Amino acid sequence: MRTSAGLLLYRHTEDGLEVLLGHMGGPFFARRDAGAWTVPKGEYEPGEPAWDAARREFQEELGLPPPDGEAVPLGEVRQTNGKVVTVWAIEADLDPATVVPGVFSMEWPPKSGRTQEFPELDRVEWFGLDRARTVIVKAQAAFLDRLAEHSA
């Protein structure tokens, strides 16, 4: 079973609660919006604590240290690909312009023999909860609902 952990930043604004999501990088998601946004997260190996992985992956994906603050456990979800994702929410404000995303390599175009690098997340934005629900990976919408319950 593949496991992944991440941190969902949130902030309170005049317009209500907002969350920070990342648009998945690479050619498969380049022209997609719905279902192409995610909590900044990444895979980890058995034996590594999920909390440690969530903080490490935040640093790797956004190029910034994870913020301090109270971590609200939002539990886990199983995505359609079978991956189990565990997330914590932290109240923090982050300027998306300061993000320096990590990169990954893959063969592109397929069967070309050429390897290209792509950003893990090609952009990061703040979303109100209603808009976030329309763009986030479907299974991860549960994290938004759990955060809303916690913040009520």
What is the mean predicted confidence (pLDDT) over 132-150? 97
Write down the mean pLDDT value for the chain. 95
Higher-confidence residue of 110 and 18: namely 18
pLDDT at 94 over 80: yes
Distance CA 64, CA 85 (A): 21
Q: Is the pTM of this model over 0.85?
A: yes
> First CA to last CA across the chain, in angstroms?
34
pLDDT at 151 over 90: no
Q: How confident is the model at residue 79 (pLDDT cuts 50, 70, 90)?
A: very high
Residues 6+ apart with CB under 8 A from 130: none
> According to the model, what pLDDT value does residue 30 have?
87
pLDDT at 38 over 80: yes
Cβ-based neighbour number of residue 24 at 10 Å: 20
Q: Which amino acid is at 35?
A: G
Distance CA 82, CA 150 (A): 26
> According to the model, what pLDDT value does residue 152 have?
77
What is the mean predicted confidence (pLDDT) over 122-136? 97
